Amino acid sequence: MRHRVHRPRVGAAGAGRKGPRAPTAIAAAIRVAYHCAMTRFIAITALLALAACAQTTGRPGGGAAATAIDRPAPPPEIAAVVTAPPPPAAARTAAALDTTTPEQKEAATAAATGGRLLGETVASLGDPTEPGLWIRTPLADAAGSGRLEYQGRSAVVQLIPADGPATGGSQVSLAAMRLLGAPLTDLPTLNVYAD
């Protein structure tokens, strides 16, 4: 009587082949850490690119001179709060580009109440080298004093009219975005008020 020798068939499950390796906890942790690092790198790179573009585009001989051309003087009652000196040429971080003082920040948030609601606007970061607290928005018909609200926080700003429909987006200064706690690389929705 012959004895059969059982030989596993090629291609049978679990026979003669190795399945794909399941991802290990270490590999997953490395992927998560890499993703977080890349996200931070992209955000910082975007901010630096904005700063570099603002210093080189349409500003021959420096950054502060062209600002006065397209930005009217703020109303006297808020000038001391919303006006700040230009950042140093070597500034590359958000903190270095924001030249508003702690006293200005405190005054801007303490006085931020009341006013007439102009509407909501989707905001993006304006020229990061243009100092002070301001918004350039199509919601404003004239330059003047106003304030912004974002997620329960409020700040006094200078309103600067911008061309375009009222539904168009607005540009907000880096200092104002930071004071409101709004993300610099996102498009937050702000409430805009006029005094």
If you search the block for the tokens 């030249």, which residue do you land on?
99
More confident: 110 or 5: 110
What average pLDDT is seen over the chain? 79
> Within a domain: residue 108?
yes
Q: What is the pLDDT of residues 29-67, one digit of tens each?
A: 566 555 545 555 454 555 544 444 444 333 333 333 334
More confident: 160 or 47: 160
Supply the range of the domain harboring residue 125: 67-194
Number of domains composing the chain: 1
9 CB-near residues (< 8 Å, 6+ apart): 15
**Pairwise CA distance, residues 104 & 82, whole Å:** 7
> Within a domain: residue 159?
yes
How large a percentage of the chain has pLDDT more than 70? Answer: 64
What CATH number is attached to the domain comprising 130? 2.40.40.20
* pLDDT value of residue 29: 57
Contact between 177 and 157 under an 8 Å Cβ cutoff? The reply is no
> Within a domain: residue 55?
no
* pLDDT value of residue 94: 96
> Within a domain: residue 165?
yes
> Within a domain: residue 136?
yes
69 confidence band (pLDDT: 50, 70, 90): very low
pLDDT surpasses 70 at 6: no
> Within a domain: residue 26?
no
Helices and strands (H, E) in the chain, number of each type: 6, 6
> Within a domain: residue 45?
no
